[in-house]
Amino acid sequence: MITITAAARQQLADILAAQDGTDHCLRLAIAGRGPQGFEYELTLLRLHEKSPTDAVVASDDLTVLIDAASVENLNGATLDYVQQPGGHGFKIDNPNPLWRDPVALRCSASSTPRSTRGGDAWRLRGAARRP
């Protein structure tokens, strides 16, 4: 399904520990497609707010939900947390093609060159910055 690196796991654990209660989780979804790849949505929510169709990725005390419509396009992806001179945030390395439909592939190739891999860093809203 999806791999969560040690750095991402630690950052998520820190964020979730700062929430009131232990019933919080991260929900990951593909929100759309842009010129640079997939656009992702990372949301903190309580476990009872999960959709019945969400896929659950649980490991140790960390629970990550994957939006049902995004499961196929996130299969094999890696969620990481990166720290760079310009800032820090979550990064998703996604080996899946941006378009699977042959007609869409022809249209996107003829209009503008674009990446077929996600990989932009995304900051989780409300995430505490590490010193």
Domains of the chain (ranges, CATH numbers): 2-121 (2.60.300.12)
* Euclidean distance between CA atoms 94 and 71, whole angstroms: 12
Q: Is the pLDDT of residue 68 over 90?
A: yes
Predicted TM-score (pTM) of the model is 0.71
Q: What is the DSSP letter of 19?
A: S
Higher-pLDDT residue of 80 and 1 is 80
Cα three-residue angle 50-53-56, rounded to 5 degrees: 65
Q: Report whether pLDDT(53) > 90.
A: yes
Q: Return the number of other C-beta atoms located less than 10 Å from residue 12's C-beta.
A: 24
The two structure tokens encoding residue 13? 């654990």
d(C-alpha 118, C-alpha 97), whole Å: 9
User: pLDDT-derived band of residue 106, with 50, 70 and 90 as boundaries?
Assistant: very low
What's the pLDDT tens digit per position in 40-49? 999 988 888 8
pLDDT at 114: 39
H or E element: which one contains 34? strand 24-34
